[in-house]
Amino acid sequence: MSLQVNPEIPFPDLMRTAIIDKAVAWEIALSVTAALFAREKGSGGQELKIAMVDVAISFLGPMEEWPRPCLMKMLNQAPT
């Protein structure tokens, strides 16, 4: 607890964690589940290749358009 306490403020700060590590664990869990489901359906074995940098980029990608999500996609579409 003492590692999280700011000396200037008497209550604990937010816990500092590595969010990308958790995102990679989540991606691995989803990938393993999908591979097991594919094996159950008869698609054979699956080889999972998950790079931490790929997960980090895909996880942080939506932050690029944070103030106006999907605005650039809407502007680049042809009128229907």
* 80 pLDDT more than 60: no
Neighbours of 23 (CB within 10 A): 16
Count of domains observed in the chain: 1
User: 2 or 25: which carries more pLDDT confidence?
Assistant: 25
For residue 48, report the phi and psi dihedrals to the nearest 5 degrees. -100, 125
CA 67 to chain centre: 19
Q: Is residue 80 part of a domain?
A: no
Percentage of residues in the chain with pLDDT exceeding 70? Answer: 59
Q: Is residue 50 part of a domain?
A: yes
Q: Is residue 53 part of a domain?
A: yes
The pair of structure tokens assigned to 8 is 């200037």
For residue 49, report the phi and psi dihedrals to the nearest 5 degrees. -120, 105
Q: Domain of 61?
A: 2-75
Query: pLDDT tens across 40-79, in order?
Result: 998 887 889 999 988 888 877 666 656 665 666 666 665 5
